Amino acid sequence: MVAWSARVSHMTEYRGLRPEEWDQAMAIWTGVFNVGSWYFQSINDGTKGRRSEDTRVAVVDGRIVSTVDVFYRQLRGLDGNPVLIGAIGSVATLPEARRQGHSGRLLEDAIMQMGERGCAWSFLFTGVHDHYERYGWRRVPLPYRAGDLREALSDLDDLYEIRRLQSPYPLPDFLALYDEFNRHRPLVHIRSASYWQTAIQVRLDLPDRRVWGAFADGRLTGYALASFSPGEGGSVQELAYADGERAAVLPLLAAIRTAALDEQISRLTVTLPNDPAINDALDALLERREEGSHPWGMARPIAEGVSAENLQSLFAAPDAHNYDLDAF
């Protein structure tokens, strides 16, 4: 592949990041987003085949002033088969360099790079939709459900032992359950073992996150992840169970309910797949339910033959789901 760059003036260029410039890019990201370096390091380390030039930069007088990252990932399509997509992240510009066209120029650069790499489409998260709509991205639905925790639950079967898990987590077991539960699910990121060890592990270790496991005869049959923020509520962000173990779902969610109530949280937002066992458990767990769509997802066709309508159909598929842990 030929790396593309263009000199806009004698002082400005748009190109790929050089390895020796990593600390400079990291300083921009941590300053603009007010997020620790662990976040950017983990998604870099966890993305298979990652190259420094996958970070596109605007350089003025030898100084990086704007960045756009492309993370190449395998997501499942409507038929459940892997599809290569370009995930856009770390779009950041120094305050003194904003409104000068740098971000848009880098997005155009990224679009071309994604086409050269064979991406079918591109995906990003943002609260600034107008900017990306100028370059072809369109909003896509990211459904959620929310409700108040019921004051009481029916007696639960004692088929499973539910344990609160602590780091280090049994990541190989999580990987196996995740793959089994999501093996045909559209939009799911196909996670590698190294991705679990880098990008996922550090997210599980965040102080507001809690992880539970369901055990039967000493064997892990399911796990669930929730995030609690006192004053803001709780969020159930991931759950997976083994084939034939759907009965593990309700006790897992019941354990989350108990922990939430202990922290004075009475309402949960749930971003889990449309799955019969999960749906039944939510009926038992929540009242005054509502459904909605998070507003920050956007997608753009890249390959010929992929249209905006195709992407809307993909995101609207009844069993489609993209997990919060895979944010980039």
Question: Does the pLDDT of residue 3 top 90, yes or no?
Answer: no
Name the H helices within 34-155. Answer: 37-46, 102-117, 129-133
> Is 67 within 8 Å of 29 (Cβ atoms)?
yes
6-143+294-326 and 145-292 agree in CATH topology: yes
- Over residues 262-278, mean pLDDT: 96
For residues 15-39, give the mean pLDDT.
95
In sequence order, the 6+-apart residues with CB closer than 8 A to the CB of 56 are 14, 15, 16, 17, 67, 68, 69, 70, 106, 109, 110, 113
**Fold type of domain 6-143+294-326:** Aminopeptidase (3.40.630)
The domain locations on the chain are 6-143+294-326, 145-292
β-partners of residue 56 are: 16, 68
For the segment 221-233, what is each residue's pLDDT rounded down to a tens digit? Answer: 999 999 998 777 8
Mean pLDDT, the chain, integer: 94
pLDDT band at 6; cut points 50, 70, 90: very low
Band of pLDDT at residue 257, cut at 50, 70 and 90: very high
Q: Which CATH number fits domain 145-292: 3.30.565.10, 3.60.20.10, 3.40.50.300, 3.40.630.30?
A: 3.40.630.30
| pLDDT > 70: percent of the chain | 97
Amino acid, res. 219: R
